[in-house]
Amino acid sequence: MRKLIAGNWKMNGLASSLAEIEALRGLTGEATCDIVVFPPLTLVEKAVERALGSAISVGAQDCHAEFAGAYTGDISAAMLAEIGARFVIVGHSERRSSYLEADCAVAAKAAAAHRAGLTSIICVGETRQQRDEGKAIEVVRAQLEGSIPDCTTSTNTAIAYEPVWAIGTGLVPSIAEIEEVHAAIRHVLEERLKRDGTLVRILYGGSVKAANAAAIFGVPNVDGALVGGASLKASEFSDIISAVA
């Protein structure tokens, strides 16, 4: 399975940051994996222009579930597709916690993305307390089951496992813990999508760096990474991309 390496810039980046897209083009060349960058919304269209003709795709960090309407400040999946986005992240833990997004809301956004022709990256992950209580698998399974819309296929969806306690903290689960959760996610996908569930890419996210990327990519059912802070600089992000065997 061709791995997917995604870089989530979050609320970082002004026009000058587009130079990182150009630098990444030069550093990745003929990549052996799929590469997606998720800049802030203000840079998506310009990032698409800078990435044109390269191995880099561009995505957005969120979308609304409706096609249009009285939703001040929101952006629909169709609007994102119109400016050249090909992917969208939904259900990131920061959206779930700060904006109280429930699983059903995440599923509705993913369905909207699919209708617009976008690939959704659906995020799931447990908190530190939930892991300490031995509930990590239970929590991730429930989130996944509630966040996958009926229109999900291996071609329009990827899943990102991001333990909340590992995001931006420098903490990383053990290889055994990553393997256990990714195996559980694969099981849910196979239950829901049958054979197609074996083809959905499952990404790991949470303090991914060049120093640990190769070990993480070697774990069964880890089909790529959703990278945060380390994706802001082309040199760091390309080192992670280079770790793909």
Smallest CA-to-CA distance from 77 within 48, 43, 41 is with: 41
Beta strands in 72-214 (DSSP E): 87-90, 119-124, 157-161, 201-205
Determine the Cα angle at 220 with ends 216 and 222, to 5°.
55
The active-site residue, picked from 92, 94, 114, 182, is 92
Q: Specify whether 145 is catalytic.
A: no
Smallest CA-to-CA distance from 122 within 77, 160, 164 is with: 160
Q: Specify whether 92 is catalytic.
A: yes
The active-site residue, picked from 20, 94, 101, 162, is 162
Smallest CA-to-CA distance from 151 within 95, 113, 201 is with: 113
Smallest CA-to-CA distance from 9 within 80, 58, 78 is with: 58
Determine the Cα angle at 22 with ends 17 and 28, to 5°.
125
Contacts for 143 with CB less than 8 Å, ≥ 6 apart: 91, 103, 124, 125
- CB atoms near residue 105 (< 10 Å): 18
Contacts for 40 with CB less than 8 Å, ≥ 6 apart: 9, 10, 11, 12, 13, 61
In angstroms, the CA 112 to CA 224 distance is: 24
Structure tokens at 38: 């998720």
Active site residues: 92, 162
